[in-house]
Amino acid sequence: MFELIKNKTQNAKNDILSGITVALALVPEAVAFAFVAGIDPIIGLYGAFMVGLVTAVIGGRPGMISGATGALAVVMVSLVKEGNALMPGVEGAGVQYLFATLVVMGLLQMAAGVFKLGKFVRLIPHPVMLGFVNGLAIVIFLSQLGMFKVEGQWLAGTDLWVMLGLVLLTMSIMFGLPKITNKIPAGLAAIVAVSLVVIFGGVDTQTVLSFVQSNGGSGIEGGLPSFMIPQIPFSLDTLYFIFPYALILAAIGLIESLMTLTLIDEITETRGSGNKECIAQGTANIINGFFGGMGGCAMIGQSMINVESGGRGRLSGIVAALMLLSFILFLSPYIEQVPIAALVGVMFMVVIGTFAWSSFRIINKIPKADAFVLILVSAVTVMFDLAIAVICGVIVSSLVFAWENATKIRARKVTRENGVKVYEIWGPLFFGSIQAFNSKFNPVEDPEQIEIDFIDSKVSDHSGVEAIRIMVNKYEALGKTVMLKHLSPDCKRVLKKANPKFDEIIISDIDDPRYYVVTESVGIEA
């Protein structure tokens, strides 16, 4: 499916039609996540509109869709509940604390963009990316199963078969239409076709209106969002309460947005700006805080719908946001008639297109550590949330990398005719390899003169520099002389700063072509 996506080029028609498709898919998602967070559905719809519009206009990834998400909604549940407890007797107190938290959250996200922290998404290993994609595909699938419930009860009998039939019809249209023509987004065509079948065929099934009503709402109709300052006490106690939530929400929002950005980059073979996206997400959430929205971040499901439908430019996201607003203001009677089954069918096709099926093929061919990370990230994404999953995956990958490199350090020992013993070090010297490095030396039994040559080694961190200093001190405490060769300029600088005597034992004037190459490359890095 990714090859089909890559072949679609950006144009206004595709952006407009895909934007309409995305807007239709955003409605039940925004409503459902608002109910998860324990807030009014219109707040979720406002949030999806404002986040979607701002990030589409100034975001770092054209074609990526943002809106209200489940990952943030789960955190907001306890925030709203505790906020209500802080101001008993005040109606909507928890929501006011939510709006204030969104402002702080937005400031933190903007700071991440200003300080260019978005680039760290490049450090996420590929197995973590595969696990992220697979985990989110499963999460999207599981979230759609809730649509098969009415007032908390699973559908059964005729209602269930009708729902399944309409879902399969939607998926069949989305699968077959691209084989005939790519001029019409398959998702939009499927939604329209199934809606017409339900409306004119008099099919009794759950619609957007009945879904909202079954969850305690009255509909999706509303007015324009208006400016307001959160009605909460402005004090250090308030900041102490909302800051941890703001930090968690900011982290989850940025991780999900940047991971989705990277995925869309890979699919479309283009390059987005992570730092720019951080600033856009922060700006959008600040606006949400002052205009009564739920806030949000990038949505992988809707982003996949967009790119699959041909949406490539900023216009697709702008159209999606404006259409969502028009649904709220003018078109609610029509949108409320759209069957939930059609939207579920679209999301199921997104699941199929999102899941990295190739991971089954390569699971036995990649290193066991990478396979473990892939499965771990997928499982944690499903059981907890994306942020925890990515952090776990990066930590495990880093530990595996450190452990493997810690065992690679070697020392070739040569005793010259003049009695000088030379240790030729090979491999990285860093915090993980210090113990192995120390085990190569025998200060008590070594001769009076020692030479340690680092031409095939790289001292990677301060722990490595400290290990060299301690080893030199051990030899000198025994009255022996140590000379250091082929240290990089940054390592020599740190050693000399720690103790000027190192200037006497570091050999810098060495006629070795490899040494000068290493010195020049390190100098450029510094």
For residue 357, count other CB atoms closer than 10 A to its CB.
11
Separation of alpha carbons 12 and 314, rounded Å: 10
Separation of alpha carbons 357 and 116, rounded Å: 33
Task: Please say whether the beta carbons of 431 and 403 come within 8 A.
Answer: no
pLDDT in tens, 380-394: 988 877 778 888 998
User: Where does residue 310 fall: left (phi above 0), alpha (psi -120 to 50 degrees), or beta otherwise?
Assistant: left
| pLDDT grade for 10, boundaries at 50, 70 and 90 | low
pLDDT of residue 498 exceeding 80: no
In words, the CATH class of domain 407-525 is alpha beta
Residue 426's pLDDT is 92
Computed from CA positions of residues 183, 189, 192, 198, in that sequence, does the dihedral angle turn out positive or negative? positive
Residue spans of beta strands (DSSP E) within 232-349: 297-298
- Residue 481's DSSP bridge partners are 449
Mean pLDDT across 31-42: 78
Upper half-sphere CA count for residue 1 (Cβ side, 13 Å): 19
Residue 512's pLDDT is 53
pLDDT of residue 99 exceeding 90: yes
Kind plus residue range of the DSSP H or E element containing 236: helix 236-268
Separation of alpha carbons 143 and 22, rounded Å: 17
Per-chain mean pLDDT for the chain: 86
DSSP string, 444-488: TTS-SEEEEEEEEEEE-SHHHHHHHHHHHHHHHHTT-EEEEES--
pLDDT in tens, 345-388: 888 887 888 788 888 888 888 899 999 999 999 999 888 777 78
CA distances from 455 to 109, 440, 496, 508 (A): 43, 16, 19, 12
Residue 375's pLDDT is 93
Among 8, 44, 4, 38, which residue's Cα sits nearest to residue 299? 44
pLDDT of residue 511 exceeding 80: no
pLDDT of residue 237 exceeding 50: yes
- Residue 414's DSSP bridge partners are 422
Tell me, what amino acid is at 295?
Answer: G
Tokens of 233: 């006490």
Among 152, 272, 150, 298, which residue's Cα sits nearest to residue 210? 150
Tokens of 411: 């020392």
Among 356, 399, 349, which residue's Cα sits nearest to residue 374? 356
Residue with tokens 């250091």: 484
Separation of alpha carbons 136 and 354, rounded Å: 8
Residue with tokens 């060495």: 510
- Residue 149's DSSP bridge partners are 154
Residue 292's pLDDT is 93
Task: Please say whether the beta carbons of 436 and 407 come within 8 A.
Answer: yes
Q: In whole angstroms, what separates CA 500 from the centre of its chain?
A: 46
For residue 177, count other CB atoms closer than 10 A to its CB.
19
Tokens of 214: 């079954």
Separation of alpha carbons 280 and 51, rounded Å: 9
Q: What is the pTM of this model?
A: 0.74
Separation of alpha carbons 148 and 344, rounded Å: 9
CA distances from 19 to 33, 306, 428, 479 (A): 21, 7, 51, 77
Share of the chain above pLDDT 70, in %: 94
Tokens of 325: 């607003």
Which strands, in side-by-side order, build the sheet including 449-459? 410-415, 421-429, 449-459, 481-485, 506-507
Domain ranges (residues) in the chain: 2-358, 407-525
pLDDT in tens, 446-459: 999 999 999 888 88
CA distances from 146 to 36, 155, 188, 195, 354 (A): 12, 10, 22, 20, 20
